[in-house]
Structure 1
Amino acid sequence: MRDGTSVSNQVTPTTKSGGASRAGVVLDDKPPSQSFGQVLTQPKASYSRGQTATAVFRGGHPKNDFRTQRSFLEVQRKEGSQWVTYLTDRDWDTSYTWKREGASYSRTTVDWRIRGDVPAGTYRLVQTGDWTNGWNGKVSPYTGTSQEFTVN
Structure 2
Amino acid sequence: MPDEVVNPYDPVSETFNKSISVSGCLPAMGYSFAAGTTDGPGAFNFTQGTTTSNPLWNAVRDFIAAPTKEDIKCQAPKPILLATGRAKFPYEWQPNIVSCTVAKIGDLLLAAVPGEFTTMAGRRLRKVVSKIAGAKKVVLAGLSNIYSDYITTPEEYQAQRYEAASTIFGPHTLDIYLNKYAELTTALMKDTFLHPGPEPPDFQDQLITLVPPVLWDGNPWGKEFGDCVKQPQRQYSYGDIVAVSFIAGHPRNGLRHGRWYAIVEKLESEKYDSWVTYATDADWETKFIWRRDSKILGTSFADIEWEIPAGTPRGTYRIHHFGNYKYILGGIYSYHGFSEPFELT
Query: TM-score, normalization: structure 2?
Result: 0.40
CA-CA distance at 1:4 after TM superposition: 4.6
Q: Which runs of 5+ in 2 are unaligned?
A: 1-102, 115-143, 148-206
Correspondent of 2:280 among 88, 106, 110: 88
Partner of residue 292, structure 2: 100
CA–CA separation in structure 2 for the residues paired with 1:112 and 1:54: 7
* Cα deviation 1:12-65 (Å, max 9, x = unaligned): 37xxxxx75223211000112110001111000010011001111000011111
How far 1:68 moved relative to its partner?
1.3
Query: How many angstroms apart in 2 are the aligned matches of 1:38 and 1:80?
Result: 24
1:127 pairs with one of 306, 321, 329: 321
More strand by share: 1
1:72 counterpart (242, 261, 265): 261
How far the C-alpha of 1:66 sits from its partner, in A, is 1.6
Cα pair 1:37 1:57 within 8 Å, conserved: yes
CA RMSD of aligned residues (A): 1.9
1:16 paired residue number: none
For 1:56-71, what aligned pairs fall within 5 Å after superposition?
56-71=245-260
2:306 corresponding residue in structure 1: 112
SS of alignment partner, residue 54 of structure 1: strand
CA-to-aligned-CA distance 1:100-144 (integer Å, 9 cap, x gap): 011110111110000111011000001110000011x21101101
**Partner SS, residue 145 of structure 2:** coil
Which one-letter code corresponds to 1:113 in the other structure?
E
Contact 1:65/1:129 (8 A) holds in 2: yes
CA separation of 1:5 and 1:86: change in aligned 2, threshold 3 A: closer
In 1, the alpha carbon distance for the partners of 2:312 and 2:269 equals 17
CA distance in 2, matches of 1:126, 1:11: 37
Matched positions, count: 145
Which one has a larger percent helix, Structure 1 or Structure 2?
2
Report the AA paired with residue 133 of structure 1. Y
- Unaligned 5+ segments in structure 1 are 14-18
State the 1:92 CA deviation: 0.7
Q: Which runs of 4+ in 1 moved over 3 A?
A: none
Q: Specify which of 32, 36, 44 is matched with residue 233 of structure 2.
A: 44
SS of the equivalent of 1:6 reads strand
SS at match of 1:150: strand
Q: Deviations over 1:65-100 (max 9, x none)?
A: 121121000100001231000011111111100000
Q: Residues 24 and 64 of structure 1 are in contact (CA less than 8 Å); yes or no, is this contact kept in structure 2? A: no
Q: Would you say 1:12 and 2:205 are equivalent positions?
A: no
Instruction: Give me the TM-score of the superposition, normalised by structure 1.
Output: 0.88
**Distance in 1 separating the partners of 2:226 and 2:320:** 9
Q: Distance in 2 between matches of 1:87 and 1:129?
A: 17
Supply the AA of the counterpart residue of 1:147: E
Larger relative contact order (CA 8 Å, sep ≥ 6) = 1
Question: What is the percentage of aligned positions where both structures have the same residue?
Answer: 30
Task: State the SS of the aligned residue for 2:252.
Answer: helix
One-letter amino acid of the counterpart of residue 89, structure 1: D
- Corresponding residue SS for 1:119: coil
- Larger Cα Rg: Structure 1 or Structure 2? 2
